[in-house]
Structure 1
């Protein structure tokens, strides 16, 4: 073997470390905000029904709503596995909470409303720890550790106006905060005793360790429109601008990064930083009421991941340069959402949905290896939900989401920490479930 496992680790570690954020159908974006949107499979651009689904997906919908407020709490449960070079291992953190609250009320004259809310729109992370038994290449053993945590919170104050009986327009100012911390290291135990008859074993570690939590703040804009063609058909449109963030900054010790042609770039102790922006998006929707009680909603989205996660630049005290570009290679994503709702009677609504998303992570060994701790690869999701109108303005909404497990596997030898003679293949597996409850009140 031409280089040690530890040397391979520090080359591969940093290319993986900063790719870990959230897990959801649309890259690291949740299928829907609020339990009505989840139950509809995210197909709400042409059919927003509460302040949560409207302010995030199409703020024009706020203009058509009575004054109300809603609070949603969701338990998100992803199941993740990866191969870092020593066989498959799972994440040790699998349950996360996603809260959100929204409102809408009249403001600034006839037909104009003010609404919005505070939302957990994405987040999560992974926590992999794998002990490695001694072997001919790793005489004294060691362990691989991969940790990441991203919290993404968004506030969306919104204005909407009903222009006439057919057209409504709206806009949201997206103000967000994200917190991140990352670690991707490999520790090798080795004998460095100068006296062979009296050996002692010490750990020697290497890779990326930016585990001091850092906050960054960003801003963007959402523009939306709803056009009611007739009593049966409504069209929806939304454009979300890129959300530009301040840099996340980390205090770190010695680091290592991949350089050109398989070389290694070392970094000293000091401050490191990088921008993790949020992509621009376009969505078109169509809502149809075949009958007064039955709603069908379809939607298509385009998400510009390539501009935000094709590479990730880390600035810091690197030797010979001040920036290292990490190749994550994300592609733009196409998403199709389908949802249907039926009013069983005056107090009960039931709904179901389906979402399909193209894979933003290319199916090649380099991309799979670079994203093993961020397997944003699920493509097929089904959802179910219901609403009960309890009287006196109160209503209760529940939803369940299941994203079918998907696995991507690279070529033999592509695992980031694999020594050359083991031919371990990089792999990523992700499946998801979520359970949510929402309380609403009409004033």
Structure 2
């Protein structure tokens, strides 16, 4: 096979694999909730925030109704990913990630004002696929994102029914990916010299720097009466500085070759709106429902990589995500003075359509349904312990026949990606 043919396939590999920011729980690559109270409620906390983490991240107005407290959460996230690149199904070799979070709330500078916030991070996310093609070579798809956010928040209790709040979202991210195909070619040399040499084509941007972004969350909480509470939030887009890579030659075939040097791109975080309703039929029983809109289309439509390309300023990776609608419902029951139990369900529309599966094979943001359970035990002297478990049901998305980059044009082969998830979390809180 000629080198130009190999590099042409590498171009197909690049287009097929797309750009990955990994996938967490149901909402694209966004967690359904931060902290184990929010996770146990399936993210339905905009109208029912109950600790610093769920308030600062989901609705900062809720902090105005909280007593001074702090919380630390540790979560083990276990996504199971598989993909068919056109030569059989393979699994990802990265399946376990740690997610820490810490939050607090305390009185501020004046009566009815409180200051709080949260710091949380998700690290080492992504996929790592290696498709062995035998004596001819191999294809590799790797992606990783580290995302950390600080969320200082201020809330004002206008009266005993109404509160408003604002969070400044300050974040840092680090993105790396490799989308290559390696082919072995005979050297024409006799033993004991090597009989083949590897020739690689594709994108290899695996040495990133940190990128920094900022945005804001506005929230309002209104207690209609002792039974009904309404909540609403708006999160602005989080605009980041460019992600940069120092990289070698990028060889995607004729017309798409870049020299060694610095490459850069923007990966912003989407704006979103959430509305919630919390009802207490009896004092010890809480039911919370929430609807959410996430504007993925503005941030995950195409990924333009700028750098020393020959004859062009940038190379565009098409992802074509759609906006996502999410519905959450959670319920909590206070059994006695020391025990609360909760459960929830969340459903999100898939931001990646089947027509774009071949563009997102290493971006498996396809979860649609998840269930959660959790509980809190009040240990005395202000301490409390909260646990949660989440399971997202397996989803398989299949692309158009003939679009698999390892079997281009073959009508009997379709690219596909499969994903399921589990999450286990523990949170320790203290009321001052």
Q: CA deviation at 1:323?
A: 1.0
Counterpart of 1:406 in structure 2 is: 395
Q: Is the 8 A contact 1:188 1:205 kept in 2?
A: yes
1:373 aligns with 2:362: yes
SS of 1:74's partner is: strand
Quote how far apart the aligned CAs of 1:336 are.
0.2
Which residue pairs with 1:417 in the alignment?
A: 406
Q: Which moved more, 1:85-94 or 1:218-227?
A: 85-94
1:426: which partner in 2?
415
Which residue pairs with 2:385 in the alignment? 396
Q: 1:299 aligns with which of 282, 290, 296?
A: 290
Quote the residue 2:317 is aligned against: 326
* 1:7 maps onto 2:2 in alignment: no
Distance 1:309-1:223 versus aligned 2 partners, 3 A rule: same
Residue 104 of structure 2 is matched in structure 1 by: 103
Query: Partner of 2:146: helix, strand, or coil?
Result: strand
Match of 2:30 in 1: 29
Say which of 327, 338, 344 aligns to 1:353. Answer: 344
Q: CA deviation at 1:219?
A: 0.2
Instruction: Output the TM-score relative to the length of structure 1.
Output: 0.93
- Structure 2 match to 1:336: 327
Distance 1:109 1:266 in 2: 60
4+ long deviations beyond 4 Å = 419-423
How far does the alpha carbon of each residue in 1:337-394 deviate from its partner, in whole angstroms, 9 at most, with x for none?
0000000011000000000000000121xx1011001110010000000000010000
Whole-angstrom CA distance in 2 between matches of 1:14 and 1:253: 19
Aligned to 2:226, what secondary structure does the other structure show?
coil
Selected match of 2:181 from 183, 186, 189: 186
Equivalent runs, 1:143-162 vs 2, <5 Å: 143-162=138-157
- Equivalent residue, structure 1, for 2:258: 267
* Structure 2 CA distance for aligned equivalents of residues 217 and 334 of structure 1: 27
Q: Is the 8 A contact 1:30 1:122 kept in 2?
A: no
Question: Which secondary structure state, in structure 2, belongs to the residue aligned with residue 13 of structure 1?
Answer: helix
Q: Show the counterpart of 2:303.
A: 312
Question: Which of 274, 290, 298 lines up with 1:283 in the alignment?
Answer: 274
Given that residues 11 and 264 in structure 1 are in contact (C-alpha distance below 8 angstroms), is that contact kept between their aligned partners in structure 2? no
Offset of residue 420 of structure 1: 4.2
Aligned residues: 431
- Which residue is 1:167 aligned to? 162
Distance 2:405 2:428 in 1: 45
Q: Assess if the C-alpha contact under 8 Å between 2:97 and 2:123 holds in 1.
A: no
Query: Matched residues in 2 for 1:267 and 1:15: separation?
Result: 19
SS of equivalent residue, structure 1 residue 56: helix
TM-score when normalising by structure 2: 0.96
Shift of 1:224: 0.1
Question: Measured at CA, do residues 16 and 156 of structure 1 come closer, stay the same or move farther in structure 2, by a change above 3 Å?
Answer: same
Partner-residue secondary structure (3-state), 1:276: coil
Distance in 1 separating the partners of 2:240 and 2:184: 40
Work out the CA distance in 2 between the residues paired with 1:88 and 1:264: 31
Whole-Å separation in 2 of the counterparts to 1:305 and 1:123 = 22
Deviation at residue 11 of structure 1 after TM alignment: 3.2
| Superposed displacement of residue 122, structure 1 | 7.5
**Aligned-partner SS, 1:185:** strand
Q: 1:253 to 1:422 in 2, by over 3 A?
A: farther
Q: Give the 3-state SS of the residue equivalent to 2:155 in structure 1.
A: strand
Question: Aligned-pair distance for 1:251?
Answer: 1.0
Structure 1 residue 82 corresponds to structure 2 residue 83: yes
What residue number does 2:19 align with?
Answer: 18
SS for the counterpart of 2:282 is coil
Alignment partners' CA distance in 1, 2:144 and 2:114: 36
The aligned counterpart of 1:248 is 243
Contact 2:403 2:409 in 1 (8 A): no
Aligned: 1:71 with 2:60: no
Give the Cα–Cα distance (whole angstroms) in 1 for the partners of residues 15 and 383 of structure 2. 50
Distance in 1 (CA, whole Å) between partners of 2:236 and 2:408 is 44
The alpha-carbon distance between structure 1 residues 256 and 334, as it changes in their structure 2 partners (threshold 3 A), is: farther
Contact 2:285 2:332 in 1 (8 A): yes
Match of 1:136 in 2: none
* Equivalence for 2:212: 217
- 2:171 maps to 176
Q: 1:413 to 1:5 in 2, by over 3 A?
A: farther
1:395 & 1:95 partners in 2: Cα distance? 27
Q: Which moved more, 1:309-318 or 1:113-122?
A: 113-122
Deviation at 1:123, TM superposition (A): 6.3
In structure 1, C-alpha distance between the alignment counterparts of 2:79 and 2:214, rounded to whole Å: 28
* Inter-partner Cα distance in structure 2 for 1:421 and 1:164: 66
2: CA distance between counterparts of 1:282 and 1:104?
Answer: 24
| Aligned mates of 2:124, 2:29 — CA distance in 1 | 8
CA RMSD of the aligned region, Å?
A: 2.0
> Counterpart of 2:75 in 1: which secondary structure?
strand
Give secondary structure in 1 for the equivalent of 2:14.
helix
